[in-house]
Amino acid sequence: MCGAPKQGGALAGIDLNTQTVIQGQVWHDGAPVAGAYVRLLDGTDEFTAEVVTSPEGEFRFFAAPGTWKVRSLAPVGKGERVLDAEVGLNETTIVID
């Protein structure tokens, strides 16, 4: 329920007509970052959720339409991305410099 569901993988079973999915990968130095902590912040920068990336560096959130910030925290550093999400699939990549 409130734990961390498996990140990445197929979108089977997810209704993209109703869900606002924000997903993507975390990259550093030309490779995906596994085990990075990725948090979703709302329009006021308040924490909404956090997941840990899959072995392929993937993360996925179920949000609502609007502006969101995705921030990644890993031993190699931090990165973030702001995006405007709509109902359906919203994909983004976070690069840690």
Residue numbers of the site for another protein (CB under 8 A)? 1-6, 14-15, 18-20, 22, 35, 37, 40, 42, 44, 46-52, 60-64, 66, 73-75
Q: Which is nearer to another protein, 66 or 88 (CB)?
A: 66
Least Å distance, CB 93 to another protein, is: 18
Minimum CB separation from another protein for residue 94, in Å? 15
- Do residues 38 and 58 touch, judged by C-beta distance below 8 A? no
